[in-house]
Amino acid sequence: MAKAYLVGMIKVTNMDGMGPYMAAVEDTITEHGGKFLVRHMDEKLHSEDDPNPITVVIEFPDAVSAMSWKNSDTYQAILPARLNNSEGPLVICDGVE
């Protein structure tokens, strides 16, 4: 079964409000076999008008694990902190191998 990848390109609108999400999200990911491959929060490579200054790539063992994470009670509990304090997509993609 191919691995799955979550790609996120997020613009934080309220960093204080995002704090609870950012503090807890990694544990929710590892509970489902996921791991961060890319976590770019340094704005120096972006132009000032870049709509997505935070980029993440997360690897999951497969799409079932990724969707299980997305729908889990632990992730759903922290999701409002992301939705209320940031903009931008999170996309789950199947790997090619």
Count of structural domains within the chain: 1
Six-digit token string for 41: 């929060």
Residue 1 has a pLDDT of 81
Question: For residue 29, what are the domain limits?
Answer: 4-94
- Note if the pTM is more than 0.75: yes
pLDDT, one tens digit per residue, over 7-60 is 998 888 888 999 999 999 999 999 999 999 998 766 555 556 655 578 899 999
CATH classification at residue 62: 3.30.70.100
Q: How far apart are CA 62 and CA 53, in angstroms?
A: 27
Residue 40 has a pLDDT of 76
| CB-based burial, 13-48: b 16+ in 10 Å, e otherwise | eeeeebeebbeebeebbeebbbeeeeeeeeeeeeee
